[in-house]
Amino acid sequence: MPPALGWSLRRYMLPRNPLVKTTEQSAERYAGKEFTILDASEVQLDGASAMVVTFSIPVASNQQFASLLHLVDETSGKVDGAWELSDSKTELRLRHLEPARKLILTVDKNLAGVNGAKLGKELQQKLTTRDIEPSVGFASRGSLLPSKVISGLPVIALNVNKVDVNFFRIKPEALTAFLAEWEGTGAKSYWESNEFLKKATLAYTGRFDLSPQRNTREQILLPLNGVKELSQPGVYLAVMQEAGAYQYSNPVTIFTLSDIGISFHRYHDRLDVFTQALEGGQGIEGVKIELFDEKGHSLAQAKTSSDGHAQLVKDVKAKVMLATKDGQTSMIDLTKSALDLSEFDIAGPEGYATQFFTFGPRDLYRPGETLIVNGLLRDSDGAGLPDQPIKVDILKPDNQVIRSFVWQPNKGLYQYQYEIPAGAPTGEWSLRFNLGDKQPRFYKFKVEDFMPERMALELKSVESEPVSPTQEITF
């Protein structure tokens, strides 16, 4: 009978607690630096108010913060909650403050930093928390919901427990006129709503329980899956109001139930349009693409090919693009800003006549670890170049040079190891390369305090005898 193996997971026991080592390194790095309070104020964290005390250097984590920091309400006494230390260890936070309350913050003089330095002087500060009013609104001015799997319509609520929502289906024959008048604002007055409703029919009215966390601004999905009246593809208008309240204006939004995903690229003379199925991602053939001006007049139209692509002549008068097929409708407001890709690095590395490609096993290190970096010298076409020495400067996060050397290759490969000082400042470090063309290149890496989690897999055999490589094993 084949031997059986059992397995189990257990925590990897380090020979020494890495937290102790990290604390010692932090103490060394901030040795001699003054420990002071930089700021103490009310801050919004995860949609709720919090008391945040900011310090000049990290706070020692092995302290009883409840006995060193006190937050008291002038009316009701001690504020409930526990102080938490931020990941950077430079902030102490107490979450979920009540609105419009007069508070007194007291920080004990014996509170210590990671280097052992103490405040030395008690801080007492008065503050009044901001008042907040209950509010509710839609999270978007327009949404595309997959017709086959309707997850829900997102709303943002603050201290509003229930809402009433009326869903109107825009009449297909009045859709272009409706979109021509639609301005996309997040709220409409009673009179404006009545004008829009002439082009729609009531599909469903429902009350939804939101119950957000108290004094916390939360995004919540209105569950629409399973509502039979909202299963038909089309364009819908939703009008929402707080249950039991009547306002002059109410939050509104439009959304479409459709499986047609649509995007386009705008060029100087044309629009390249692409349609894809939201369920599978494949291109959709035969989708009618149409452009409309601000009065609802059709300007141009085309149908997508087998790969879901279509081209339209660019028209500056176009306001809305509609994509329709088999009763499904998706749309894009052409007056809104295009997707902003400026924050994404899509250009790639800058090109030079002499390219120096640098790489390493990782770009994140802890103080005291060894940086490993390699380099290859190539021309603009990627072909190898004759070996040459390269002057290198190692720069700290403040751009100060900590070390310089001349890098010599070995058979075309540049290899270098640098032991990062145990007291190295955290942040973005870099290697600056001088190839003799007065165009410096850089290799960047980060030095941070982090604690990688480790686990070990332990295999145990129920057989006492060793297992032969030729034996069959069952688990």
Residue-wise pLDDT tens digits, 85-115: 998 889 999 999 999 999 999 999 999 999 8
Architecture of domain 1-19+352-475: Sandwich (2.60)
pLDDT digits (tens, 9 = 90+) for 374-433: 999 998 888 899 999 999 999 999 989 999 999 999 989 999 999 999 989 999 999 999
pLDDT grade, residue 8 (50/70/90)?
very low
> What pairing do the DSSP bridges indicate for beta strands 441-447 and 364-365?
parallel
Q: Cβ distance 158 to 212 under 8 Å?
A: yes
Residue 127: strand, helix, or coil: strand
**Res 304: pLDDT:** 94
Which distant-in-sequence residues (6+ apart) come within 8 Å of 227 by Cβ? Answer: 204, 206
Rounded Cα distance, 149 and 79, in Å:
44
pLDDT above 50: residue 9: no
**Res 196: pLDDT:** 75
Q: Cβ distance 342 to 317 under 8 Å?
A: no
Among residues 71, 74, 73, which one has the least CA distance to residue 83?
71
Write out the CATH class of domain 31-128.
mainly beta
- Please compute the mean of the pLDDT values over residues 462-466 and round it to a whole number: 67
pLDDT digits (tens, 9 = 90+) for 19-34: 444 555 567 778 888 9
- Please compute the mean of the pLDDT values over residues 204-226 and round it to a whole number: 89
> What pairing do the DSSP bridges indicate for beta strands 135-138 and 123-128?
unpaired
CA angle, 436 as apex, 432 and 437 as ends, to 5°? 95
pLDDT digits (tens, 9 = 90+) for 147-184: 776 778 899 999 899 999 999 998 888 888 888 777 76
pLDDT above 80: residue 6: no
pTM of the full structure: 0.60
Measured from the Cβ of residue 410, the count of other Cβ atoms closer than 10 Å reads 8
Domain boundaries, the chain: 1-19+352-475, 31-128, 135-257, 265-325
Share of the chain above pLDDT 90, in %: 44
pLDDT grade, residue 4 (50/70/90)?
very low
Q: Cβ distance 287 to 304 under 8 Å?
A: yes
Residue 158: strand, helix, or coil: strand
Average pLDDT for the chain? 85
The reply to whether 135-257 shares the fold of 1-19+352-475 is yes
Which distant-in-sequence residues (6+ apart) come within 8 Å of 331 by Cβ? Answer: 179, 235, 256, 262, 320, 321, 322, 323
**Res 462: pLDDT:** 65
Q: How far is CA 334 from the centre of its chain?
A: 26
Q: Which pair of structure tokens corresponds to residue 53?
A: 């005390």
Instruction: Select from 2.60.40, 3.40.1110, 1.10.3470, 1.10.10 the CATH code of 135-257.
Output: 2.60.40
- Please compute the mean of the pLDDT values over residues 453-475 and round it to a whole number: 71
- Please compute the mean of the pLDDT values over residues 337-348 and round it to a whole number: 70
pLDDT grade, residue 3 (50/70/90)?
very low
- Please compute the mean of the pLDDT values over residues 335-345 and round it to a whole number: 73
Measured from the Cβ of residue 37, the count of other Cβ atoms closer than 10 Å reads 17
Share of the chain above pLDDT 70, in %: 87
HEC secondary structure over 143-182: EEECCCCCCCEEEEEECCCEEEEEEEEECHHHHHHHHHHC
pLDDT above 90: residue 269: no
Rounded Cα distance, 302 and 291, in Å:
9
**Res 11: pLDDT:** 41
Q: Please, what sign has the CA dihedral across residues 237, 241, 247, 250?
A: negative
Rounded Cα distance, 328 and 287, in Å:
10
For 138, half-sphere exposure in the C-beta direction (CA atoms, 13 angstrom radius) is: 24
Residue 436 has phi, psi (to 5 degrees) of 90, 5
- Please compute the mean of the pLDDT values over residues 350-378 and round it to a whole number: 92
CA angle, 242 as apex, 240 and 243 as ends, to 5°? 110
